[in-house]
């Protein structure tokens, strides 16, 4: 947190996906993927990656 905002995706170790990638994320999660997904439909979290 350097700009006064907490990046929730980093805090929970999530992979940020847009609307186009949501079906793939759902499928991977349903198959037991060892990661969390965070939907970012408006691109507000662009560039945020898991820590």
Residue range 19-32: mean pLDDT, rounded: 87
Whole-model pTM over 0.85: no
Q: What is the mean pLDDT of residues 13-23?
A: 83
Give the 3-state DSSP-derived string for 19-51, with helices as H, strands as E and coil as C: HHHHHHHHHHHHCCCCCEEEECCCCCCCCCCCC
Q: How many CB atoms lie within 10 A of CB 18?
A: 14
Residue 8 scores a pLDDT above 70: no
pLDDT of residue 2: 54
d(CA 18, CA 26): 12
Region of residue 17 (phi > 0: left; psi between -120 and 50: alpha; otherwise: beta): beta
């Amino acid at each position: 947190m350097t700009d006064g905002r907490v990046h929730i995706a980093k805090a929970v170790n999530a992979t940020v996906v847009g609307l186009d990638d949501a079906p793939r994320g759902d499928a991977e999660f349903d198959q037991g993927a060892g990661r969390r997904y965070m939907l970012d439909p408006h691109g507000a979290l662009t560039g945020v990656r898991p820590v």
